[in-house]
Amino acid sequence: MSTSIGTGSVREPTATLITGVQASGKTTVGRLLAERLSPAAFIEGDDLWRMVVSGRADMSETPSDAALAQLQLRYRHGAMLSQSFVGAGIHAVHVDNIYGTGVTDQLDRLSCRRALVVLRPSVEAVAGREARRGTGAYDAWLGEGTIVDAVRRFDDWLAETPSIGLWVDSTGQSAEQTVEWILAHWDQAVVG
């Protein structure tokens, strides 16, 4: 099944933020969504993070002031890029690790049309995916616990996100199915 995106509110250029825990599928889903929303740009938070090539301060269980400042800079730049693309008539799909009230702060940085998609597959599905891909995304948060414990901590942070936008339990979906679901429920993703 292919969802039509040629009519309705999906056609209007929108700054779409996709968030979820690490290994929830944000990058894959976000890139596929951008490919469907023509014209569209894809903005990956990790790419913005990697732009700091000297003196980068990484996030951890106990982040430094520099890490927190660089994280906020990353978020601001994601919003600036999104705003710029939408202003030029191009959809912007920005994927990043933003949780809790940080999500509304990020949306508030935008004065253009906005949408929010929160990917929330089960903790067990995310832990299994992270184990298979082996990126070590949760290493800094493992401590004495397991990968499931670390994912659950991130999922708890995600649960603190205000109930706005489109929340997707993508546990049993392929990335393509998730994109189809998002497009079919697009009006729920658009936020005021």
Residue 22: which of 107, 77, 96 has the closest Cα? Answer: 96
Whether 170 contacts 178, CB under 8 Å: yes
Helix-then-strand count for the chain, H and E: 8, 6
List the beta bridge partners of residue 191: 114
Mean pLDDT, the chain, whole residue set: 91
Tell me the mean pLDDT per 10 residues along the chain, length 192: 50 96 95 96 94 84 86 96 98 96 97 97 92 81 83 93 97 96 96 90
Tens-place pLDDT, residues 28-76: 999 999 999 999 999 999 999 899 899 888 877 778 899 899 999 999 9
Relative to beta strand 114-119, strand 40-44 is unpaired
Give the alpha-carbon dihedral of 173, 128, 159, 97, to 10 degrees: -90
Query: CB–CB of 154/141 below 8 Å?
Result: yes
DSSP 8-state secondary structure symbol assigned to residue 76: H
Q: pTM of whole model > 0.95?
A: no
Tokens of 35: 């490919």
Closest CA to 157 of 125, 107, 118: 118
Encoding tokens for residue 135? 């990126």
